[in-house]
Structure formats: C-alpha cells, structure tokens
C-alpha cells in the first residue's frame, strides 16, 4: 500500500538510553529529528537520519512500536517494499527519502534471542529528511 498513518514516534537521546515516545516530533531537513541521538550535520550520516518501520511487521514479530529503536512507525505502508530514492510524506510538511534497508544489529538479540536473525530484511528503511516540519501521531503517511 502507498497510504497509511504515523502510528508512533520515538527518539533516543543517547546510545543505550531508553526510547522516548512522542506525540509530536520536529524533523529538521539535513539534520534529523530534534532530541534524537542520530541528529547530526555530519555529511557521512545524512542518509541515516530516520528509521521507518511498519506496525504490521512488528505485529508479526510480536514487537511493540519503538522496540527496534525506530523513530517512525507507520501502519498501512509496506515499509520493506520501499526502494532507495522513494519518498514518504509524513503529515502536511515532512518528506523523507529512503536511503537503504536497515541492517539489524546485535542489540536486537538483547530484546529477544534470535531477533537479529528474524529481522534480517525486515528491520525497516533508513531515510534522510528532505523537507522538515512537525509530525504528529495519527498524521497521514504516503509514498510519493
């Protein structure tokens, strides 16, 4: 599907810090999400500002939004089917561009043994922020 909703928003302020759930997040083009540890102006990190994941995959794996440390959880969009270069509009302002599939790290096995392997090819998509603004839980998400 190409249209859905943002069902959950999260930031992680520092490495290994607990994920913080938000009702609204501010996305800054070329930088990242305010308050998230991945927000940076470093050129080598521009393609990795946001991790998109879909609720449907989390449900299949018995996980909750934020468990795999994604910033944006959508419903109604098959995030795994997105390709590099595709854009996703979030709310009325924000546009993110898919960079590449996210590789599950060994920390996933801290959530549940074997989860890193279960998430192979299913951990969502990394993206950069093309146009900034605010996104609220419940906002429309659509592949453009």
Q: Residue 110 sits in a domain of what CATH number? A: 2.40.33.20
16: number of CA atoms within 13 Å, CB side? Answer: 2
* Predicted structure pTM score: 0.94
Q: What does the pLDDT look like over 1-44, one tens digit per residue?
A: 689 999 999 999 988 889 999 999 999 999 999 999 999 888 88
Give me the percent of the chain exceeding a pLDDT of 90: 87
Q: Give mean pLDDT, residues 69-86.
A: 96
Q: Give mean pLDDT, residues 114-142.
A: 96
Over its C-alpha atoms, the chain yields an Rg (Å, rounded) of: 14
**pLDDT at residue number 44:** 87
How far is the C-alpha of 88 from the C-alpha of 109, rounded, in Å?
Answer: 29
Total domains in the fold of the chain: 1
**pLDDT at residue number 1:** 61
Rounded mean pLDDT of the chain? 95
**pLDDT at residue number 118:** 94
Q: Residue 27: which of 136, 129, 144 has the closest Cα?
A: 129
Provide the residue range defining the domain that includes 11. 3-143
């Amino acid at each position: 599907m190409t249209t859905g909703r943002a069902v959950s928003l999260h930031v992680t302020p520092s490495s290994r810090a607990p994920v913080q759930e938000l009702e609204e997040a501010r996305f800054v083009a070329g930088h990242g999400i305010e308050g998230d540890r991945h927000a940076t102006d470093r050129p080598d990190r521009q393609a990795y500002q946001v991790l998109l994941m879909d609720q449907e995959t989390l449900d299949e794996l018995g996980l909750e939004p934020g468990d795999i440390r994604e910033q944006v959880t959508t419903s109604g969009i098959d995030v795994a089917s997105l390709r590099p270069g595709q854009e996703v509009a979030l709310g009325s302002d924000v546009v993110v561009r898919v960079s590449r599939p996210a590789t599950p790290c060994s920390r996933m096995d801290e959530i549940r043994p074997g989860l890193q392997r279960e998430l192979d090819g299913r951990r969502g998509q990394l993206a950069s922020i093309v146009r900034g603004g605010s996104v609220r839980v419940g906002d429309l998400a659509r592949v453009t």
